[in-house]
Structure formats: structure tokens, C-alpha cells
């Protein structure tokens, strides 16, 4: 079995790292889930809140706390809201790849997965002149072939896997010497499970209070801080951009940046640092052939 990824050294003697990241799904995720959602005006409006209202509010928070963030933008969002994506770039944040129409890599074939990567790249280049170095699989659902497809296109890092507290070098295939940087995430640090409720579309019907969500995320922050890990929060502007939630996020940002033993950075900065460490590539072990039932 592949050994667990170990702790990493952080810049300037910091003990741990933290990153606030945003997935600007807009309408893409619900349209990939079901094209019929295009006919539902209220559902479309629920998602449009993100680019229209959430992103400007969140950019204000980040500016106030002087945090450089990473925004994962599907190509479809870039085409629908080009000015919003340009605003993100103009504010100095990283724009990274998140599919074209939020296609789950495991839900398509090899050629389609490659085509979706290329369409997303073309959209970000066309709209904002961006060549992203980072990728996050829609639904955090990386396929076994994704690492090699990303490396072929010059990506530096992915942020979709969950088997470590700190970043590591992800081998393109098991045993390969070539790799991309992996910056792990986890479901407890995603706002979708706390806030998303769209009847017939997504969510459990339970919408948590912003205070509860912040408590969960801050607890995970303290845990990862104590072990020298990398805390990566994933928020969606259509969810966390609403005022009461943004207020709690504001307080959480204030807490994180007040921790002088923690390096707050974009994922691009984290990946660039990790690449300098020369870590040996590792992979996730495929379960292989299962016993007959
Ligand atoms: Zn997404």
C-alpha cells in the first residue's frame, strides 16, 4: 500500500497553511445535473445569485482582510458572466479550472473528459486572458485518468482528493516519477452541505445556521493548525455570498489571519511552495479486482 503523505515544511517558519477558496458554479452545476433545470426560472435565479451578488460581496471581504484567494470558475460561468470573472482577476485573485459545464470526470469517457478540460481552458483564456495552473474536479470527483490529463495541459496542481492533511506530489499514474501537486480537501470544509437546499435538485432540506457552519470550519482549522496541515475552505458564492453567511465568513477570516503561525495564501501559492520541496510522488491505491460476491 502507498504510505500516508507526511507533514510538509511551510514558508517563513509557519506552522500550518490556510486557503479560502470559492467555486463559482453559477448555473453550471444544476444544468449538468439536469438540462431541464434551464426551464426553471427560480432555480436559475438561485444559482445566478452567486455571480451577481455573492462574488462582489466576497471580493470586498477578501480585500478588507488582504487575503489572496482562489476562484474555481467553470467555463460556462465565464461565458455567462465575463465581467465578474474579469473583476476577480483585477482584484488580484487566482482563477482556476472547474470544468466547462461542471462535468464530473467520472461521469464521462476519456475523450469527453479531455475535451471538457480544453473547453474550460479556452473559455478562461477568451474571457479573462487566464491560463490556470490549478484544477478542482466538479463534485470533487477526480477520475483515475485526470492527473495525467492535467499534466499534459501544464497544470501545476489539483485540489480534489481527501487522503492527507497536507499537500503532496500526486503521481500521474501509480509508481510514476512525474506528478502534479495535490492540495487535499474534505467535505466538512464545503458550504454545500451546510446551506444548499433546492427542492428536487440538491440538498437535504436542512439549512444550517451560519454560526454553526463557522463553528465547524473553525474547529477543522484549529485541528489542522495543530498538526501542521493545510486548511482549505470551499465556499460557493451562491450560498456563502448571502449576507448573514458572509458576516460569519468575515469573522472567520479575521480569526484565521490573526493567527500569525498560519500562512494564509492562494492555492497557487501553496502549490508553488510545495513543488520546491521535492517530495517523492505517491498515489492513491486503486482497489483493483474485487472478490466475487
Ligand atoms: Zn463546483
Q: For the segment 232-278, what is each residue's pLDDT rounded down to a tens digit?
A: 999 999 999 999 999 999 999 999 999 999 999 999 999 999 999 99
> What is the rounded distance in angstroms from the CA atom of residue 179 to the CA atom of residue 160?
15
For residue 174, how far is its CA from the centre of ligand 1 (angstroms)? 27
Domain that holds residue 146: 11-276
For residue 263, how far is its CA from the centre of ligand 1 (angstroms)? 25
Number of domains in the chain: 1
- In eight-state DSSP terms, residue 53 is I
- What is the chain's mean pLDDT, rounded? 96
Domain membership of residue 290 (yes or no) is: no
For residue 158, how far is its CA from the centre of ligand 1 (angstroms)? 14
Within its chain, how far is the Cα of 213 from the centroid?
18
Domain membership of residue 138 (yes or no) is: yes
All residues at 6 or more sequence positions from 259 whose CB lies less than 8 Å from its CB, including other chains: 18, 225
Domain membership of residue 288 (yes or no) is: no
For residue 51, how far is its CA from the centre of ligand 1 (angstroms)? 13
pLDDT digits (tens, 9 = 90+) for 64-82: 999 999 999 999 999 999 9
Domain membership of residue 72 (yes or no) is: yes
Domain membership of residue 6 (yes or no) is: no
Domain membership of residue 215 (yes or no) is: yes
Domain membership of residue 283 (yes or no) is: no
Please report the pLDDT score of residue 97 as a whole number.
Answer: 98
For residue 235, how far is its CA from the centre of ligand 1 (angstroms)? 9
Q: At how many degrees (to 10) do helices 82-90 and 110-128 cross?
A: 70
Domain membership of residue 173 (yes or no) is: yes
Global confidence as pTM? 0.97
Please report the pLDDT score of residue 256 as a whole number.
Answer: 98
For residue 278, how far is its CA from the centre of ligand 1 (angstroms)? 30
Please report the pLDDT score of residue 285 as a whole number.
Answer: 92
Task: Assign residue 211 the CATH number of its domain.
Answer: 3.20.20.370
Please report the pLDDT score of residue 204 as a whole number.
Answer: 82
Q: Give the pLDDT band (50/70/90) at residue 203.
A: confident
pLDDT digits (tens, 9 = 90+) for 119-155: 999 999 999 999 999 999 999 999 999 999 999 999 9
Report whether pLDDT(175) > 90. no
For residue 236, how far is its CA from the centre of ligand 1 (angstroms)? 8
For residue 18, how far is its CA from the centre of ligand 1 (angstroms)? 20
For residue 12, how far is its CA from the centre of ligand 1 (angstroms)? 32
Give yes or no for a contact between 28 and 43, defined as CB atoms under 8 angstroms apart.
no
For residue 251, how far is its CA from the centre of ligand 1 (angstroms)? 24
b/e map 189-213, b = 16+ CB within 10 Å:
bbbbebbbebeebeeeeeebebeeb
Q: Give the pLDDT band (50/70/90) at residue 99.
A: very high
Average pLDDT over residues 203-217: 94
> What is the rounded distance in angstroms from the CA atom of residue 196 to the CA atom of residue 230?
25
Please report the pLDDT score of residue 1 as a whole number.
Answer: 76
For residue 21, how far is its CA from the centre of ligand 1 (angstroms)? 11
Amino acid at each position: 500500500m502507498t504510505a500516508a503523505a507526511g507533514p510538509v515544511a511551510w514558508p517563513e517558519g509557519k506552522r500550518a497553511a490556510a486557503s479560502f477558496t470559492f467555486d463559482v458554479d453559477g448555473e453550471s452545476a444544476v444544468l449538468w445535473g439536469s438540462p431541464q433545470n434551464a426551464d426553471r426560472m427560480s432555480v436559475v435565479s438561485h444559482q445566478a445569485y452567486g455571480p451577481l451578488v455573492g462574488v462582489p460581496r466576497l471580493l470586498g471581504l477578501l480585500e478588507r482582510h488582504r487575503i489572496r484567494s482562489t476562484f474555481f470558475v467553470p467555463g460556462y460561468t465565464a461565458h455567462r458572466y465575463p465581467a465578474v470573472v474579469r473583476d476577480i482577476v483585477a482584484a488580484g485573485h487566482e482563477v482556476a479550472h472547474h470544468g466547462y459545464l461542471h462535468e464530473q470526470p467520472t461521469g464521462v469517457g476519456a475523450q469527453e473528459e479531455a475535451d471538457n478540460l480544453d473547453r474550460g481552458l479556452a473559455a478562461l483564456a477568451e474571457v479573462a486572458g487566464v491560463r490556470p495552473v490549478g484544477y478542482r474536479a466538479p463534485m470533487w470527483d477526480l477520475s483515475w485518468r485526470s492527473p495525467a490529463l492535467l499534466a499534459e495541459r501544464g497544470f501545476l496542481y489539483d485540489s480534489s482528493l481527501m487522503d492527507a492533511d497536507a499537500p503532496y506530489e500526486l503521481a500521474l499514474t501509480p509508481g510514476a516519477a512525474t506528478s502534479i501537486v495535490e492540495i487535499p480537501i474534505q467535505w466538512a470544509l464545503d458550504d454545500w452541505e451546510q446551506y444548499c437546499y433546492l427542492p428536487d435538485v440538491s440538498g437535504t432540506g436542512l439549512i444550517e445556521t451560519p454560526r454553526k457552519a463557522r463553528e465547524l470550519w473553525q474547529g477543522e482549522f484549529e485541528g489542522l493548525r495543530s498538526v501542521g496541515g493545510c486548511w482549505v475552505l470551499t465556499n460557493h458564492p451562491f450560498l456563502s455570498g448571502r449576507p448573514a453567511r458572509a458576516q460569519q465568513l468575515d469573522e472567520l477570516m479575521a480569526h484565521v489571519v490573526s493567527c500569525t503561525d498560519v500562512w494564509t495564501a492562494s492555492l497557487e501559492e501553496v502549490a508553488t511552495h510545495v513543488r520546491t520541496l521535492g517530495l517523492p510522488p505517491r498515489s492513491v491505491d486503486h482497489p483493483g479486482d474485487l472478490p466475487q460476491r
